Amino acid sequence: MIDQFPYYHPTKVILIDDDISFLDSLSRHIDKEILFKCYADVSEALADINTLHHPGIYETCRGIPTDEAGSLSTQLVPWDFSNLKEEALNAYRFHETSVVIVDYLMPSINGLELCSRIQRPEIRKILLTGVFDTSDAINALNDGVICGYLNKNDTNLSEKLNNIIQKQQQAYFREVSKRFYCSGAVIPDFMFEDAFADYFSEICRDNNIKEYYLTTESNGFVLFGENKHDYYRLLVYSTEDIRAQWEIAESQYAPAELIKKLAVADVIPDFWKTSGTYDPAYASNWQNFVFVPGKIIQGTRQTYYCHLQYRPPAYKNFSNSMTDLNTSRQEMINNGTLTTGIPLKGFESNGAYLKR
C-alpha cells in the first residue's frame, strides 16, 4: 500500500510545557496552517487530549459482539467506503488531536509519564528535551513510547518543529487508516498505485485542498478547500470500471453514441442521480453526465481515467451542509480551543493562551 489515505482533514496539535515564556516563543514559529493549542497545565492538557468531542469516523471501524456477554471479536466489520464522506459533516473533526508535543522535565510530571496517560494509541507523541536528557528520549523512541523528539536548544528548532508536525500528522492518518484496510473493506486498485499518488498530490497542491474523502458511488474522491464553496469531485475509473459501465449502458439500451464512447473509453460517466450507473432517464441528456478524461494514468495493475470537476452539482447540497475549515478555525479561536500564537495578557487560569 502506498502512502495514500482514504481520507484526510486538518487535526489539532497540543503543546505542553510548564515554561510559559518558552511556549510563547515556540508558538510564534508554528506554521499558520497548523491548528494548535498550548498548555502549561498538565491536567488541562490531558483532559483535552483524552476527550473525544465527537468520535472520528475511524472509531466506527471496530470489532462486533460475538457472544451474549457482548465481548468483541478481533475481526473488524468490513467498512463501506460510501459512508466515509459523511465525516465532512462532523463539525468537530478539526478538534481531533493527532500530535502531542510535551516537555520532558516538568515539576508535576515528566513528559514520558504524561505520554503513558494518553488514552488514544494512534496519537503521535513528540518529546521536547534539553541537553542532558536526549539519551532518555532515544531510549523512549526505541521502546515505542514516543514517535520522535526535539532538542529545545536546537538552533533550527522552529524549522524542525514544523517538519515533524507535518510528518507526524501524516503518520497519524496512516495509523487510523489501518482500521479501514484491516476491516476487509474493498479498496480501489488505484489506491495501490504510485503514479496515482503523485497525480493526487499534485491536485491537492495546485488547488489548495485541505481535506478529502474517498467515495465509491463513482470511484474517486470528494475534496474541499478552506471554504466549503471550493469543492471538487475527482472521478477515477479503471479499465474494468468503464467496461462495467459500458455493459450496463448496453443492457439498458442507451444511445448508440454513448455506448460507442464507453466502449473505447473516450468518456467517463458520472451518473450521480442514479447511484453512478446509466438509467434510461439519461437518454436525452447523457452528454451532461459524461466527461473526457483529463488525465490517463498507466498503472501497474490497470489503466486509470481521471477527471477533476469543480463544484459538481452532485455535492452542492452536501457542501452547503458542512462546516468548513475557515469557519471552524475562527470558532475554535473564539471559544479558546485554539492558540493563535500571540497572547494578549499571557495565560488564562487553565494554562491556555488567550485568543487575540
For the segment 33-49, the average pLDDT, to the nearest whole number, is: 95
pLDDT, tens digit (0-9, with 9 covering 90-100), for 96-150: 999 999 999 999 899 999 999 999 999 999 999 886 577 888 888 888 899 999 9
pLDDT tops 60 at residue 348: no
Smallest Cα–Cα separation from 126: which of 115, 110, 135? 115
Residue 4's pLDDT band (boundaries 50, 70, 90)? confident
pLDDT, tens digit (0-9, with 9 covering 90-100), for 156-168: 999 999 999 999 9
> Quick check: helix, strand or coil at residue 141?
helix
The answer to whether the CB of 127 falls within 8 A of the CB of 137 is: yes
- How far is the C-alpha of 240 from the C-alpha of 245, rounded, in Å? 9
Q: Which of 70-79, 207-216, 272-281, 299-308 has the lowest mean pLDDT?
A: 70-79
Residue 80's pLDDT band (boundaries 50, 70, 90)? low
pLDDT tops 60 at residue 343: no
Q: What is the phi-psi region of residue 354: left when phi exceeds 0, alpha when psi lies from -120 to 50, beta otherwise?
A: beta
**Topology of domain 7-184+324-334, per CATH?**
Rossmann fold (3.40.50)
Report pLDDT for 132: 57
pLDDT tops 60 at residue 21: yes
Give the contacts of 289 (CB within 8 A, at least 6 positions apart): 269, 270, 271, 272, 273, 282
For the segment 226-232, the average pLDDT, to the nearest whole number, is: 95
| Residue that wins the pLDDT comparison between 64 and 308 | 308
Mean pLDDT of the chain: 87
| Residue that wins the pLDDT comparison between 86 and 241 | 241
* Per-residue cell: 217: 458511488
Sequence spans of domains, the chain: 7-184+324-334, 189-225+231-310
For the segment 61-79, the average pLDDT, to the nearest whole number, is: 45
Q: What is the 3-state secondary structure (H, E, C) of 27-41?
A: HCCCCCCCEEEEECC
pLDDT tops 50 at residue 355: no
pTM for the complete prediction? 0.87
